Amino acid sequence: MRHRSPKAATAAVALALAAGAIAPAAATQGSQAARQPASADGVWRVEGYGTVLSIGHGRLQEYQTTEISCLKGVSAKRTASGAYRAGDGTVLTVLPEGSLRVAGSPGDRRLRRIAELPDTCDRDRPMPKDPVTAFDVFWQSFEENYPFFAAKGIDWHSVRETYRPKVNADTTRDELFAVFSEMVAPLHDAHVTVFDGERRFYRVRPGTTVPGEELDSKAKNHVVRRDLKGRKPQEFANGRISYADLPGRQGYLRISGFAAYDRNDRSYAAQLAELRTALDTVLTRERTASLKGLIIDLRINGGGSDALGLHIAQRLTDTPYLAYRKRTRYTRPQPIPVRPAKDSPRYTGPVAVLTGGSTFSAGETFTQALMDRPGRTVRVGEHTQGVFSDVLDRRLPNGMAVWLPNEEFLTRSGRTFDGGGIPPHLRTPVFTKEEFEKNRDSAFDKAVAVLRDQ
């Protein structure tokens, strides 16, 4: 699940919903009774995600809810395999015992059956589309879901007191967009975006840059010319993964994102297939046995699917360990493990991870998933961006929309890195103007030296 575009680390998981297969149910009474599939049909609340699902007659309908609102979200149709697939190709798996799996997002989301849709979903009383109602739904969506107000020193209730008097029945769309933008600007949260058609507003952490195509190309060319001495690396996954052997039996693995690996198929299954092809080609039995160090370059990484990062981590350990724990404001932390890949060569030697302010989203969750990796793992460069959560796509009654995060990614000790990002062990400049002009790559050079001294 995660990103691109203005949020370069926001899009690959923008829609945190889509659909999946219905799992087999528990046995019927009696030890000799045949097992029958339990039905997932009905109405479910997705705990901690401000969402209600209505399932029946081969269709799944999402409702985005707050205490004061209910708006239709994505819909999905059941396929011949029993899966529910949304228009963007995302797949949801609804387990009748009460959990939801979103393709590409690690862990399960807790489901609770409810008797019927909330009263706010009454079709006979559609929500008004006036500016004041849109403001109230916007504010309430953050009030119920956003976890980081205290950490960022933002009093959201004071924000409401300041801005709601500025909105009335005559407020224009341009004025309302400006109000919403001013409200969220102090968050400097790259997983918060306000939309009005093609217009959008977002802010990244001060002093950092969105990992767009121009910066990615510039950095990539710099690495090839300077660090690889002009030798072209092997490329995979639509150019988003590249690999080169370095002198001294070191390896260089560059990952510019965890999405868009397949040009023609946006599904998570297609992205995973491309990743496996890359890993099987790079991490061969011969190479994993001979490597003395591996540099993983995430300095320009726009995010994408957290689960793809975990698949890479599985090829870097022989021992199971905790990647991180996930929670929302209303759910307990759920442990997300890294389990060694089966039937595949694994590299377990020293790793140097290169990070910077343009390491976004799934690039950060992958970095976090390597923090407790058995064996030597050192981070070199600068702090990551500081945005980890999947993104809730919230529609507003007037047709505008907003993206916002609702999850925390916790370390074993309960720490989060949202806002400030994951710090490096060894701090160096990362793709600064001076680094380019003076033909330097301080992070790469430091990583080579550190691995050489292992």
**Overall average pLDDT of the 140-147 stretch:** 98
pLDDT for 20 beyond 80: no
What are the CA-CA distances from residue 282 to residues 140, 372, 444 (Å)?
A: 48, 23, 20
Please, how many CA atoms are within 13 Å of residue 149, restricted to the half-sphere of its CB?
Answer: 15
d(CA 96, CA 39): 6
Q: Kindly report the CA angle at 369 between 363 and 371, in degrees rounded to 5? A: 110
- pLDDT of the residue at 37: 53
88 pLDDT tier (thresholds 50, 70, 90): confident
Which strands make up the sheet holding 321-327, listed edge to edge?
Answer: 334-338, 321-327, 408-410
pLDDT for 287 beyond 90: yes
pLDDT for 396 beyond 70: yes
Query: pTM for the full model?
Result: 0.92
Four-residue CA torsion sign, 345, 348, 350, 356: positive
33 pLDDT tier (thresholds 50, 70, 90): very low
Amino acid, res. 79: T
Distance of CA 31 to the CA centre of its chain: 44
Q: Which comes out higher in pLDDT, residue 123 or 159?
A: 159
Token pair 């995973």 is found at 272
- pLDDT of the residue at 375: 87
124 pLDDT tier (thresholds 50, 70, 90): confident
75 pLDDT tier (thresholds 50, 70, 90): very high
Question: Exposed e or buried b for every residue in 56-82, given b needs 16+ CB within 10 A?
Answer: eeeebbbbbbbeebbbebbbbebeeee
d(CA 348, CA 319): 9
pLDDT tens by residue, 190-226: 999 999 999 999 999 999 999 999 999 999 999 999 9
- pLDDT of the residue at 29: 42
Q: Which comes out higher in pLDDT, residue 347 or 453?
A: 347
Cβ proximity of 84 and 92 under 8 Å: yes
Beta-ladder partners of 409: 326
Four-residue CA torsion sign, 283, 287, 293, 297: negative
Name, in order, each residue with C-beta under 8 angstroms of 220's C-beta and a sequence gap of 6 or more: 242, 254, 256, 300
Look up residue 242 and give its two tokens.
């590249």
d(CA 417, CA 411): 9
d(CA 280, CA 344): 8
pLDDT for 448 beyond 50: yes
Return the minimum-mean-pLDDT range out of 171-175, 229-233, 450-454. Answer: 450-454
Taking each helix axis as running N to C, give the angle between helix 131-145 and helix 156-163, from 0 to 180 degrees, rounded to the nearest 10.
Answer: 170
Return the minimum-mean-pLDDT range out of 97-106, 239-248, 436-445. Answer: 97-106
d(CA 42, CA 117): 10
Look up residue 377 and give its two tokens.
């793992």
**Overall average pLDDT of the 280-301 stretch:** 98
Question: Exposed e or buried b for every residue in 352-387, given b needs 16+ CB within 10 A?
Answer: bbbbbbbbbbbbbbbbbbbbebeeebbbbbbbbbbb
The string of DSSP codes covering 338-403 is E-PPTTS----S-EEEEE-TTB-THHHHHHHHTTT-SS-EEEEES------S-EEEEE-TTS-EEE
d(CA 219, CA 443): 12
Q: Helices (H), strands (E): how many in the chain?
A: 11, 22
pLDDT for 24 beyond 80: no
d(CA 6, CA 192): 10
Beta-ladder partners of 35: 27
142 pLDDT tier (thresholds 50, 70, 90): very high
Q: Which comes out higher in pLDDT, residue 302 or 125?
A: 302
pLDDT tens by residue, 371-390: 999 989 999 999 999 999 99
pLDDT for 7 beyond 80: no
**Overall average pLDDT of the 91-106 stretch:** 92
pLDDT for 136 beyond 50: yes
Mean pLDDT of the residues in the chain: 91
